Amino acid sequence: MAAIVRGAGSERNGRPSPGGAGRAWQNGPVIPWLRPGTPFPALDTALAEPNGLLAAGSELTAERLVDAYAHGIFPWYSEGQPVLWWSPDPRMVLFVDEFRVSRSLRKAVRQERYRIRADTAFRAVIESCAAAPRAGQGGTWITPAVVAAYCALHERGLAHSVEAWRGDELVGGLYGVAIGRMFFGESMFAHASDASKIALVHLVGILRAHGMPLVDCQQETRHLASFGARPIPRREFAERVAALVHCAAPREPWRPLPATELTA
């Protein structure tokens, strides 16, 4: 599927991108070009193929990201492309109360083979996610501009990392965005066995302690489904997001819970 960008001033061709949107954008459905300050279009105007492609633009600021997440939209694009904005239907989510941990992973958490921290190395986590090889992908969507934008969110207390350390070495972790009582997962990496999975267990523990019931997982994968994540209709997702992002954000700092509390 190809798409024509409306309002960009010219047709823009991109390299292969997430979701297959990078084919030459000609002779296809029209998506709007977002100029700075332009509001996002309605979610139900997103393309069915590639699933959820909603708009394109050049702006990737902390303010634009907050607005996007608050409306159930996220950026996903390749180096050299405009910023592509997505809202797929259905949407993969994890309800914190439905989180499943296998017996082997529960054992690994209890063994405390890694020291778990939160928000002590955010930039290192996102840069490690950018460098992590992904099956079927020749590059990364986490460009320097993405790193800068999410680090700006982190400085505002709106983006968080959970990290797995072995001594002084960062061996795994994940990061995402928290607005109100909603958490939007972004990416994870592991340089040691189960490091990212253990970080995920600790993330869910933090969210449960903070009264944050839902994690946006964006895209459906078997890996996420193994933890209890499941797809829900986009309309339901948007309604839940609208309610949760307007709840008062937790005041407590992000601190991992003791392993014994996570595996009880």
List, for residues 128-181, the tens digit of each pLDDT value: 999 987 665 555 789 999 999 999 999 999 999 999 999 999 999 999 999 999
Q: In terms of domains, do 100 and 217 share one?
A: yes
Burial class (CB in 10 A: 0-12, 13-18, 19+), 37: exposed
Q: In terms of domains, do 76 and 100 share one?
A: no
Task: State the DSSP code for 154.
Answer: H
Task: List the one residue out of 64, 97, 99 whose CA is nearest residue 83.
Answer: 64
State which of 60, 88, 116 marks the end of a domain. Answer: 88
In total, how many domains does the chain have?
2
Task: State the DSSP code for 256.
Answer: P
Q: Are the C-beta atoms of 163 and 127 separated by less than 8 Å? A: no
Q: In terms of domains, do 103 and 224 share one?
A: yes
Q: In terms of domains, do 45 and 111 share one?
A: no
Phi, psi (deg, nearest 5) at residue 218: 70, -75
Distance from CA of residue 149 to its chain's centroid? 13
Q: In terms of domains, do 255 and 131 share one?
A: yes
pLDDT at 99 over 80: yes
In this prediction, residue 246 carries a pLDDT of 97
Task: List the one residue out of 100, 120, 41 whose CA is nearest residue 73.
Answer: 41
Task: List the one residue out of 42, 67, 29 whose CA is nearest residue 177.
Answer: 67
Question: What is the extent of the structural domain holding 15?
Answer: 4-88
Q: In terms of domains, do 175 and 240 share one?
A: yes
Q: In terms of domains, do 104 and 204 share one?
A: yes
Q: In terms of domains, do 255 and 157 share one?
A: yes
In this prediction, residue 79 carries a pLDDT of 87
Q: In terms of domains, do 48 and 35 share one?
A: yes
Q: In terms of domains, do 140 and 51 share one?
A: no
Task: List the one residue out of 166, 237, 169, 243 whose CA is nearest residue 212.
Answer: 243
Could you tell me which residues come within 8 angstroms of residue 196 by beta carbon, excluding any fewer than 6 positions away? 164, 172, 173, 174, 188, 189, 190
In this prediction, residue 140 carries a pLDDT of 76
State which of 46, 66, 88 marks the end of a domain. Answer: 88
In this prediction, residue 28 carries a pLDDT of 67
Q: In terms of domains, do 74 and 129 share one?
A: no
CA distance 255 to 206: 7
In this prediction, residue 10 carries a pLDDT of 30
What is this structure's pTM? Answer: 0.90
In this prediction, residue 137 carries a pLDDT of 57
Q: Are strands 53-57 and 115-118 parallel, antiparallel or unpaired?
A: unpaired
State which of 88, 108, 128 marks the end of a domain. Answer: 88
CA distance 94 to 250: 19
Q: In terms of domains, do 81 and 172 share one?
A: no
